[in-house]
Amino acid sequence: MNKHDQGHSLLELMAVALIITITAISTLPLLHEQMAVREIDIIARRFIAHAQFARAQALLLGAPVRITPLKEGLWEEGWVVKSVCEERQPQPTCTERRWIFQGDLVQVYFKGGGKQFIDPHTSKRGILFNAAGAAKTAQGGFVANRLVLGHDRDSRLERHLILGSGGRWRICDPSKDSKACK
């Protein structure tokens, strides 16, 4: 048996390690991009799930429920789903409830500062679902709008959260279906 037949030389092991390192480094940007896509998709789905929960609670309670930015700030500070006590309701019969809140978002932000969904009559941010489950303004007008999510890692990466007139939400990726996002 020859001495060279018993194992690999140090040079061969170093060559294999170099090939593995080059492969790992070349796939790292793709991995980061996929992680960013996953993060933005999770936040988009979570927001829509919370908005659908708000609508369902409005229908169940027969009373208005709002999904609104925390502390009436911007959407990227987080949001809360809560019941709404209207001025015409006697205070003892209405207690504000908070069900869900999403805290600060990490690396995902609302483009334009999340200034969408502002009631033109009250200047309050958020989406108010009335007792019939419709997204309405304080004066009864329909609120059809969109929120646009962006990601810190890639400025081209965005998702549009679109609320249609029937109360149905959809997520649109402008890089794949730009016509549907308009």
Domain map (residue ranges) of the chain: 10-172
Strand partners, 65: 83, 129
Which pLDDT score, from 0 to 100, does residue 18 have? 92
Q: Identity (one letter) of the amino acid at 79? A: W
pLDDT by 10s per residue, the chain, length 182? 555 566 678 888 899 999 999 988 888 888 888 888 898 999 899 999 999 998 898 888 888 888 888 776 777 778 888 887 765 555 556 666 777 777 767 788 877 755 667 777 777 788 888 888 888 766 666 666 788 888 888 888 989 888 887 678 889 998 888 777 77
Instruction: Note whether 64 and 110 are within 8 A (CB).
Output: no
β-strand pairing of 154-163 with 98-102: unpaired
CA distance to 104, 126, 148, 177, per residue, from 159 (Å) = 18, 19, 6, 11
Class for the domain spanning 10-172: alpha beta
Token pair in block for residue 124 = 């309050």
